[in-house]
Structure 1
Amino acid sequence: MTSVVLDESVGLRERKRRATSRTIQFAVLELAAERGLDQVTVDEISRVANVSPRTFFNYFPSKEAAMVGENPFEAQSELIDAFVQGDPARDIFDVLLELMQQVALLGTGDRELHQLRRQVLRDYPELLVLKITGMRGFEAALAEAIARRLTAQGAVSASTDAAGSFDVRARLTAMVAMAAMRHAFTLWADGDDDESLAEKLVESFALLRQVL
């Protein structure tokens, strides 16, 4: 199986972007925990995060969205392109594991941030709708990427897929990969060891292979 992807491979600009996003998310979560989200403004969040309101809106459309957190998969089209255009000889789940690890490094794997968000969101169950919507969007984008990869590799042509079975295959593969990711996330979020989410993903995908 693939080893953990190192964060050092990420460029300086992307590291700065992640750091700013993290700071904004911590600011809104801490302020909401202290006084309640209704009593917090974007100007105040920006001041605490040491960014301008304009910068805030470059990252999040609202304070509610900042509470839930960004969907890193949406913001990184180059990850999808690399997945689609990767070595066709490699096993699909090996490549999906690498993609999931990259996603984990984009903020999902920040345990401190996740624990704070989980604590604060208990008081805002309505915001879970945004989270669920984001996960559904993640799964849909993943299915589309899988379909693009298989098409690029010539695994299927339009003439041989008149019944739409190819899209069904891509969706099923995405759902299975998402199940492995949720398994890894649960182990990581509820665990007390030093393993990262990226490392937990390796374990969950190894178990997935045993099941399959």
Structure 2
Amino acid sequence: MEPMGLRERKKLATRRTLQHEALRLAIEHGSENVTVDDIAAAANVSTRTFFNYFSSKEEAIIGDGPPRPTADATAVFVANGPTGDLLDDLKHFILSPMLDLSAEELGYTFTDFLARKQLMLRESHLVTRMMATFAATEREVVAGVAARLGEEPEAIRPQIVAALGMTALRFALRHLHHHGDTAEGAGAEGARAAEIAELRDLLDEAFDALRQTFDTAR
């Protein structure tokens, strides 16, 4: 995968800052009391710049949702990799976006995800929008599964397999605990490693449960 250029990195950084500040303000003041102008000011950009990235404050507060599989990971998965076992490969396919994030990016991802979970408990009207971000990621997983199985994305098998994988991801994220930057003094990289390890363990647990269920049902 080719590294992003400076322009793309700056745009991505601005997008993440807007999401982070929107979420922070919503948690501190309630989403109803936050305006687009507030978010733009907190992110040190103009309101016009805000609308280059998001169509509404709610879109910024909810964010982009789970990181989506990269083109490289999709190519490996579609080619029956990396192990040849569909469940194991699906697990790796879903986890792959996390592996490509830097310690700082992963920290933002986990911190903001956990913060959004708390916000959803307080502001249930945002739940539908949050679910839509998972649905967008699931559509990409469906496309990858369909290509691997040689079927259309609208077919039953790709949709069922992808839905099982996304359910496992939701389970893992729901039970994830953020380690911050204090993982026994190991710093950001140590915290990143701890979070990836925990997420992998939780996905292992979820996928093992799926495999055992299907084996038992035979």
Asked if these proteins are the same fold (TM beyond 0.5), I'd say yes
* Contact 1:72-1:107 at 8 Å conserved across structures: no
Q: Tell me if 1:168 matches 2:167.
A: no
- Tell me which residue corresponds to 2:28: 34
Equivalent residue for 2:170, pick from 182, 190, 204: 182
2-structure distance, mates of 1:89, 1:55: 42
Report the AA paired with residue 181 of structure 1: L
- Structure 2 CA distance for partners of 1:178 and 1:72, relative to 1, 3 Å: closer
After superposing the two structures, state which structure 1 stretch, 117-126 or 83-92, moved more.
83-92
Report the AA paired with residue 23 of structure 2: L
* Contact 2:65-2:133 at 8 Å conserved across structures: yes
1:69: how far off? 1.2
2-structure distance, mates of 1:53, 1:131: 23
- Tell me which residue corresponds to 2:38: 44
1-structure distance, mates of 2:198, 2:108: 10
Mapping 1:87-166, distance limit 5 Å: 88-90=79-81, 91=84, 92-104=86-98, 105=101, 110-151=109-150
* Contact 1:185-1:200 at 8 Å conserved across structures: no
1:68: how far off? 1.0
1:38: how far off? 3.1
Identity of counterpart residues, as a percentage?
28
1:63: how far off? 0.4
Equivalent residue for 1:59, pick from 25, 29, 53: 53
1-structure distance, mates of 2:107, 2:141: 16
TM-score (norm. length: structure 1): 0.69
Report the AA paired with residue 188 of structure 1: L
Alignment size in residue pairs: 188
- Tell me which residue corresponds to 1:206: 204
TM-score (norm. length: structure 2): 0.68
Higher relative contact order (CA 8 A, sep 6+): 1
The SS at the match of 1:85 is: helix
Q: Tell me if 1:25 matches 2:15.
A: no
- Tell me which residue corresponds to 2:215: none
